[in-house]
Structure 1
Amino acid sequence: MAGASATLLLPAARRFGAQALSATAAQALGRADASGGLGDGRRAQLLRHLQPIPNHWPIAALTRQLDAGDAAGAAWLRADPCRVQPDINGARLLGLGETLGLTAEDAAQLLPALRPLFGDAGFPIDAPVAARWYLRLPREAKVPAFTEPDDALGTDLFDHLAEGSEGRRWRSLLSEAQVVLHNHPWNARRAESGRTPVNSLWFWGAGVLPDHVRSPHAAFCSGDDTAAAIAAAAGIRRPLPARFEPIEDDAVFDLTGARDLSALEQAWLQPALAALRRGELRVLRIDTEDGAAFDLARGQRWRFWRRPRTGFGV
């Protein structure tokens, strides 16, 4: 394992709030080689490690292939079930997909009411997974730019509606789908049982399968559906273990869901630093959603003059 390397993908620094690193971790991070400006956001972070060829971002096709294995031959668009809350200034996206606690029964009850609408438009809808709904499009379909849900959660829905002549068609389809879902008796039953109603759809991720996905890594470990789908296309998908353990010559561990810095240190950062000190790792790289990276190596322990870092900002 002496030549092995590991990369930890972390969320943006703000996700940890006022939490600070322990003295040991802060010292190691302060002595690391730091770089910034690598591109912020989840998409830019993943593209540093997984590159679809040709260069595009067809998440719907990639997750469809993972979910159903039939993505070839068509373009795909995610039409994920979501909850939109009207307010005085418009309407906000408050929940989507798995956060709504959807079951196969929910999909079986709601989808038949939507099939005539999208079928007549030439975009059949189905849900191989209860929380991920798909529209099958012709390969040559021209689709406007849609906002990814992570960029829209909590914000005004109207700031993210598709624009232009193609966008007009999709705005109309969305309005009709919202009426269908609002009037559906199954949503009333969900509300009566204390569950969140599904009152809208979120369109995103359009595209066709890439020819292949390139990566410099031997393994990509993630519990995130989007990352797992891209890594599966690259042939390097692995489950995310409960704590750090070097498993390949060059492995990535996707920890962007972490919010408790102390728990992250105990399960991941401290064991990885210990492996580095023992010479089991050649380099440990920390890559954040802010576009900052830190390369830690065993020889950096002699950099006594470096000041500790209390967080992951550059």
Structure 2
Amino acid sequence: MASATLLLPARTQLAGTLSPEAGRALARADREAGDAGEREQLRRQFQLSPDHWPVAALTRQLDAGDAADARWLRADPAFLAPDMMGARLLAHGPALGLTMEDVDALLPALRPLFGDAGFVLDAPEPARWYLRLSSDAPLPEFASPDDVVGDDLFGHLPQGDAGRRWRALFTEVQVTLHQHPWNARRVSEGKPAVNGLWFWGAGRLPDVVNTPFRQVRSRDDIVRALSLLAGVPDQVEGEVDALIDLRHLRSLQLFTDDALTPLLAELRRGELSRVVLDFQDGVRLVLEAGQRWRVWRRALARLDA
């Protein structure tokens, strides 16, 4: 019998009062605790060998299909804003609304900077730019842009001797883009300038990606890339274990009415063996039909109770 696993945001993102039916079902569920965070949440669903998290290689394979046999680094377009203390990353990637016209205008000015350093810069997708790294030289730690947005950049730049080269490239890119006339055009049209690149996600493709799911529904690029490498089919027939990505939800009512209530009905009818709710704060709730007999458990009023 099939199961359904829901990827959900942190419980605090779904604030409000649960309906009586949802409160009873969640109170009777088995509760498990795991590590919090987007990466840790996805690693519970996908197992990589070697065990690492090479975002650049994963999405490169999704975007261009040529990630094998190379090491990759994301160099995503970014909008940086100076302030009294330094500079902040205000937007990156998809938030900039770039088109291939933007890529064609900006990339030629940047390629010589990286070519001189032995790297190839390209952008098969306007929101995701890549560096193909030419050697296995040690790399510094690169921060995910989602951990940097709105914060001062200084504490998030690559550190140490291995980071010196990348800090220099980071500055050279800013100088080149600041002077580029295409950015003046974007600003005149009310669009954010592309005045920096954010380096992150370094690594090679894993040899193997495994997942128990035979159906994955997600708009997220990393989830789609992992599903592709795991061999999850585009189309399936019959009852299969499914992973459904609902991390975009911010409405408790939408979650309960459109997702949880129909799944509880399928549990009662014996159409599903179990439903797993995996929250980004690390909590997992496992629901099964037989739990309805746990009548001594008091219904939850809120998800984060």
AA aligned to 2:263 is A
Structure 2 unaligned spans of 5+: none
Query: What is the CA-CA distance between 1:159 and the residue it aligns to?
Result: 1.7
Query: What is the CA-CA distance between 1:192 and the residue it aligns to?
Result: 0.6
* SS of residue paired to 2:213: coil
Query: What is the CA-CA distance between 1:217 and the residue it aligns to?
Result: 2.1
* SS of residue paired to 1:136: strand
Query: What is the CA-CA distance between 1:311 and the residue it aligns to?
Result: 3.5
Match of 1:272 among 263, 285, 288: 263
Counterpart CA distance in 1 for 2:132 and 2:164 is 19
Quote the residue 1:172 is aligned against: 168
1:87-126 aligned at under 5 Å gives the runs: 87-126=83-122
Query: What is the CA-CA distance between 1:309 and the residue it aligns to?
Result: 2.1
Quote the residue 1:35 is aligned against: 32
Quote the residue 2:205 is aligned against: 209
Counterpart CA distance in 1 for 2:184 and 2:139 is 33
Quote the residue 2:192 is aligned against: 196
Quote the residue 1:308 is aligned against: 299
Counterpart CA distance in 2 for 1:112 and 1:311 is 53
* SS of residue paired to 1:64: helix
Q: Does 1:23 align with 2:20?
A: yes
* SS of residue paired to 1:216: coil
Query: What is the CA-CA distance between 1:24 and the residue it aligns to?
Result: 1.7
Note the alpha carbon deviations across 1:183-231, whole angstroms, 9 max, x for none. 1111111111111111111111101111110112222221101111112
Alpha-carbon contact 2:26-2:287 (below 8 Å) kept:
yes
Paired residues in the alignment total: 304
Q: Let me know the Cα RMSD of the aligned residues.
A: 1.7
Quote the residue 1:11 is aligned against: 9
Q: Does 1:255 align with 2:211?
A: no
Alpha-carbon contact 1:228-1:237 (below 8 Å) kept:
no
1:116-155 aligned at under 5 Å gives the runs: 116-155=112-151
Alpha-carbon contact 1:93-1:156 (below 8 Å) kept:
yes
Counterpart CA distance in 2 for 1:237 and 1:141 is 37
Q: Does 1:289 align with 2:286?
A: no
Query: What is the CA-CA distance between 1:23 and the residue it aligns to?
Result: 2.2
Counterpart CA distance in 1 for 2:10 and 2:145 is 17
Change (3 A) 1:238 1:149: farther
Alpha-carbon contact 2:12-2:304 (below 8 Å) kept:
no
* SS of residue paired to 1:49: coil
Identical counterparts, % of pairs: 55
Counterpart CA distance in 2 for 1:51 and 1:137 is 25
Counterpart CA distance in 2 for 1:288 and 1:297 is 17
Query: What is the CA-CA distance between 1:139 and the residue it aligns to?
Result: 4.9
Alpha-carbon contact 1:139-1:208 (below 8 Å) kept:
no
Counterpart CA distance in 2 for 1:237 and 1:194 is 42
* Range that drifts further, 303-312 or 277-286: 303-312
Q: Does 1:299 align with 2:297?
A: no
Counterpart CA distance in 1 for 2:50 and 2:132 is 21
Change (3 A) 1:74 1:271: same
Query: What is the CA-CA distance between 1:85 and the residue it aligns to?
Result: 1.9
Structure 1 unaligned spans of 5+: 240-245
Counterpart CA distance in 1 for 2:158 and 2:104 is 28
Note the alpha carbon deviations across 1:248-267, whole angstroms, 9 max, x for none. 42111111121122222222
Counterpart CA distance in 2 for 1:249 and 1:5 is 7
Alpha-carbon contact 2:41-2:282 (below 8 Å) kept:
yes
1:51-62 aligned at under 5 Å gives the runs: 51-62=47-58
Change (3 A) 1:310 1:181: farther
If the length of structure 2 is used for normalisation, what is the TM-score? 0.95
Note the alpha carbon deviations across 1:137-193, whole angstroms, 9 max, x for none. 025232111111222222221121111101011000001101111111111111111
Alpha-carbon contact 1:218-1:248 (below 8 Å) kept:
no
Change (3 A) 1:87 1:307: farther
Alpha-carbon contact 1:220-1:251 (below 8 Å) kept:
yes
